[in-house]
Chains A and B, each alone.
Chain A
Amino acid sequence: MFARDRRYLTDSLFGLLIRSTSLVVGLLILGMFTQMLLVVWPMFAAPSVSEQVFVAGMEPGTAAVPESGGGENPGEFADRPVTIDLPRKAVQLVLVPGDSVIAVETRPQLPATTPVRRQRLSVLEGAGALSFAAIDVAERYLLLTFKSGIFRLMSIRDDGHLESAYAGTLPAHRSVRPVPGGQSWVLVTEDALVQVHLVFLAAEASVATLRSMPVSDGIAHASTVSPDRRVLVATRSGEIRLWQLDMRKLTALDGLRGGARSVDWLSPVLFEVIYSDGSTRYFELASRLAEMSVNRLFFPVQFEGYSEPGYYWQPSATSDGFEPKTSLIPLLLGTLKAALVGLVLAVPVALGAAIFVGYYLSSRRREQVKPFIEVIASFPTVVIAGLAALWLAPRLIESLPEIVGGALALPILGGVALLMAKHLPTSVTRRGEVKVLPLHFLPGLVIVILVGAALGHWVEQWLFEGSLVTWLPEQGIAVQQLNSLLVGFILGFAILPTVFSLAEEAIYEVPRVGAAGSIALGATPWRSFQDVVLPIAAPGIISAVMLGFGRGIGETMIFLLLSGNAPGTDGSLFSGIRSLSATLAIELPEAAVGGTHFRTLFLGALILFALTFVINTLGHLIRNRILTKHRVSR
């Protein structure tokens, strides 16, 4: 009696333990998901400000030169000459508002400089007041803008001599704010902020409007552009708003009193507001984290120096003033493209093998054969990828026609044989019955494949002028050695055991009674498989394919070594790709923790997680639907 009670007690305790472990697994998944969400979320939150109170006399800006040059605007004309350094050419240009330019040659080690040339610029006459002068990074052009909106681009010769290159009009403006990076400028007009940028097309420079942000109630004053590319605007109604240059909205900052007259940055986060009553107050943004938008992540965006909008992934750079480009589209596209190619290549082979092993082979033979296929799964993918990079990558595209020919030869021959079989007399077809494991077919098989490869080679000579590698670029298709087809091939190899194993299990598990019955009634084995086994095994097979796809999406090493990690967005199979997983592997260790780049990468990880989650769930849903349809309980 006692012993029995104890047995029940231990039993229920074990039950509890097992249930709690599954609970732990569930909680872990949930916790991971929440953790990722928590990392990603602050990126989308609007910036918040808090007031900073300083002891009188200790206000920032009064003590030292502010970090971001608050108020200092080196290229702006204010009744004084503007000096522009050209370190690459060792020349200094002194622009005197009025009519002349003095080129001064400088030597880096010596502070003493000597003027070498005075040049009178005719373009400066009669165009109104100059507003700004700037040079491009390569020191090839000098940009002169006038308040009327007229601008001149002068090309700079090596000795500092200026020649007029390009002229045009921009919006009329009151002042100009340079954007870090030296490639673009924000024009402050009466009721809008307009970002203009230098664009180079076919070695010719031009200036064009990149983005503009209307300020509905008029601009009283605009700050400089902070290193995080943010401008503060005091509106005519006395409010303060924040424009992050790549966002399509102005953010109203809460917690600031109205009646502001001017506003300026003192550091990347600290700014001062001067009110119409003469008082000054200081505010600080909660973080330097740049705001992110769905538009920047998933839609085409035009960036500084680019002639058209597009999907670009170039999230970080060592230099200051770099505009981060964080479109996730190239990464998603690359991942899905390669995973789909892998699936298309792996599934026919895996399913063929699964049907053969799970249905045609006897149980004893199955036990012997199955581990051989599954051993593929035990190869570390880094080894497979490394071998492929060395051996397959240089050969794949060159021998693609032969590979395709060889791979298609067998199915085509089979199809022809099937067609012929219908028209052959019964006396011939009766002899044609094939054994289960036709080993003596092997030499024939090899010959068929070789003939197919030869045919492929012949087709290449005939259709593609001898070489696919040179024919495709003629048609406008780039052929990279590391491409999505190569990734697909190796990914297919990695997916194969997963799909095979699960599909074979699904087929083998179908009770043989039905198949045996149908064969007894005169059905052929294939007929019986098609009509009796397959409908029952189908849900299992579908979930096998889905899980194979999920496996392909999450793979990292194969992508890292074979995809070329080029974030292009074309649909071609012959160009390189960049996958989410490889991007995480490359960039996550180097991204500053808590920065926009870091959080964007985590968003990518979250999407990867969600993608596999959805695919697996979908697989299970399909499986359940088909199961109920056939009313089979397992």
Chain B
Amino acid sequence: MTMRRAVCILCLLPLGMSVIAQSPKLSIVGSDTMAVLLTDWSREFQRANPDVLFEIQGTGSAAAPPALAEGTVNFGAMSRAMSAKEISDFQRRTGFPPRGIQVGSDDIAIIVHPRNPLRKVSRETLDGIFSASQRCGGVRYGLQWSGVLGAAQGSPMGGVESLTIQRYSRTAVSGSYGYFKNEVLCGGDFMPQVMELPGFAAIVDAVARSPGAIAYVGAGFVDHRVRVVQILDDGAPLPGAYPGEPDYPFSRPLFLYLAIAPEQALNAMECAFLHHVTGSSGRATLKHHGFQTVGLEVAEEVARVCP
């Protein structure tokens, strides 16, 4: 009996395999920051299209361009824009430039205690506050806030000016730590005084409890107990930007890259996935993971590759 059943299953196996082989497959390679997001997107997409199979590899953004150029994947997920070298390598292999669609962004907010009068901060000031080597042009401040606040603006200090500057950061294993270190500190080192906590929630908590604190956190973790500081970029006369705004400087773009020639269009399933990602439920998932959505002009970009 069992024997016969086993034989039967063996008979069915090739049939099943042919079904798997025939069912449409979407493969995405790239950013590990986006891996969880991509998995959630694919799960939602599968609910509507149960026969679609997904293959997602979150090894790192650098893995996306070569895989795209070889034509082995449908999408290359990257949590940064392609570098000039990657673009030229891609073009040398395929003869056309890659096309990137920004589907969201990962903003890093600078937060302080609500009592802190700091409203705007420049990159140089942040470099001075956090960096040990000041590669980005910062100036080392004293122990207290008075130096920073005096340099920033002259609004009422609320007693914060005489407090010690308490800097909070994620631990070195975090991707945001690496981003902040490379982007805000120009690759320099964090000061030994910077305190490292194991999660953004813990950092927001710590900042909410100490008036002298300053920290960087993923914008999705900010709540009413702390205040977000505006960023003055490169001394520009702009009023400054908040996380989520289009010109916010500390933002990692989240890209889906495509390998299609200028006149080519995507196939139906790829288009369906792109529409899902940029649609309302895809945007909700993005928000849920603490990322920022992009403006609605992304629909136009999608329309250009999916006529």
Using a CB–CB distance below 8 Å, which chain A residues touch chain B?
85, 87, 106, 108-109, 111, 136-138, 140, 158, 181-183, 198-203, 303, 305-306, 312-319, 322, 325, 330, 389-390, 393-394, 469-470, 472-474, 476-482, 560, 564-569, 575-576, 578, 586-587, 589-590
Name the residue on A nearest B188 (C-beta). A305
Cβ contacts A to B, 7 pairs, < 8 Å: A305-B133, A325-B189, A470-B162, A473-B164, A476-B143, A565-B196, A567-B192
Name the residue on A nearest B186 (C-beta). A138
A199 to B83, CA, bound (A): 27
A288 to B20, CA, bound (A): 43
Contact assessment for B140 and A202 in the assembled complex, using a CB-CB cutoff below 8 Å: yes
Q: Does B210 contact A (CB under 8 A)?
A: yes
Chain B nearest CB from A466 CB (Å) reads 11
| Interfacial chain A residues near B195, Cβ < 8 Å | 480, 482, 564-566, 576
Name the residue on A nearest B128 (C-beta). A203
Chain B nearest CB from A405 CB (Å) reads 23
| Interfacial chain B residues near A589, Cβ < 8 Å | 173
Name the residue on B nearest A471 (C-beta). B162
| Interfacial chain B residues near A479, Cβ < 8 Å | 163-164, 212
| Interfacial chain B residues near A586, Cβ < 8 Å | 171-173, 196, 198
Contact assessment for A478 and B171 in the assembled complex, using a CB-CB cutoff below 8 Å: no
Name the residue on B nearest A576 (C-beta). B195
| Interfacial chain B residues near A578, Cβ < 8 Å | 196
A201 to B83, CA, bound (A): 31
A337 to B81, CA, bound (A): 46
Q: Which of A476, A481, A568 meets B193, CB within 8 Å?
A: A568
Q: Which of A109, A137, A568 meets B135, CB within 8 Å?
A: A137
Given contacts A314-B189, A393-B209, A478-B143, contact A111 B91 (CB under 8 A): yes
A201 to B198, CA, bound (A): 31
Contact assessment for B88 and A111 in the assembled complex, using a CB-CB cutoff below 8 Å: yes
| Interfacial chain A residues near B135, Cβ < 8 Å | 136-138, 183, 198, 200, 305
Name the residue on A nearest B173 (C-beta). A590
A389 to B212, CA, bound (A): 16
Using a CB–CB distance below 8 Å, which chain B residues touch chain A?
81, 83-84, 87-88, 91, 97, 124, 132-140, 143-144, 159, 162-164, 166, 171-173, 175, 177-178, 181-182, 186-190, 192-198, 205-206, 209-210, 212-213, 234
A587 to B138, CA, bound (A): 29
A472 to B164, CA, bound (A): 9
- Main secondary structure, interface of A, reads loop
Contact assessment for B192 and A481 in the assembled complex, using a CB-CB cutoff below 8 Å: no
| Interfacial chain A residues near B81, Cβ < 8 Å | 108
Contact assessment for B181 and A200 in the assembled complex, using a CB-CB cutoff below 8 Å: no
Name the residue on A nearest B178 (C-beta). A318
Given contacts A108-B87, A136-B135, A305-B189, contact A481 B213 (CB under 8 A): yes
Q: Which of B97, B139, B198, B212 meets A560, CB within 8 Å?
A: B198
| Interfacial chain A residues near B198, Cβ < 8 Å | 560, 586
A389 to B187, CA, bound (A): 31
A472 to B166, CA, bound (A): 14
Name the residue on B nearest A87 (C-beta). B84
Contact assessment for B206 and A482 in the assembled complex, using a CB-CB cutoff below 8 Å: yes
Contact assessment for B209 and A312 in the assembled complex, using a CB-CB cutoff below 8 Å: no
Chain A nearest CB from B102 CB (Å) reads 13
Chain B nearest CB from A159 CB (Å) reads 13
A424 to B28, CA, bound (A): 90
Given contacts A138-B135, A586-B173, A586-B196, contact A181 B164 (CB under 8 A): no
| Interfacial chain A residues near B210, Cβ < 8 Å | 394, 481
A155 to B91, CA, bound (A): 34
